[in-house]
Amino acid sequence: MIRNSEPISMAEMSKYLNKDEDSEAAFLTFIKKCTKLKEGKAIELKRDIEGLGIIKINEKHICKIIDFLPESPEELNKISADIELDEDETGKILETIKKFK
């Protein structure tokens, strides 16, 4: 039964997987290969981006930002194609990301 539905980054997902089950262990291995941040850093980055107070960005955007860690305005715009971020907002997000690389 689904109790709660909220977007999470791939790094955060690892805490919900059972390492003893073969299918979930394989998925955990995949996550480790694809993620650039550990769970704790991903949560910290999420808090920092939320703290910027950019109301256009929702949790889904934040999770994708954490998963891909864009380095340029163009990469960030691909993640947030459904919203229009101005230069200032884009700059704040990219500066925040740089602290975690």
- In a domain, residue 3? The reply is no
Split into its structural domains, the chain has a count of 1
Rounded Cα distance between 46 and 42, Å, is 6
Question: 86 pLDDT exceeds 90?
Answer: yes
Rounded Cα distance between 39 and 85, Å, is 27
pLDDT value at residue 66: 96
- In a domain, residue 48? The reply is yes
Question: 20 pLDDT exceeds 80?
Answer: no
pLDDT in tens, 25-78: 888 888 888 888 999 999 999 999 999 999 999 999 999 999 999 999 999 999
- In a domain, residue 61? The reply is yes
- In a domain, residue 24? The reply is no
What's the domain range around 72?
40-98
Q: What is the pTM of this model?
A: 0.86
Given phi > 0 = left and psi -120 to 50 = alpha, else beta, which region is 53? left
- In a domain, residue 14? The reply is no
Instruction: Name the pLDDT band for 15 (thresholds 50, 70, 90).
Output: confident
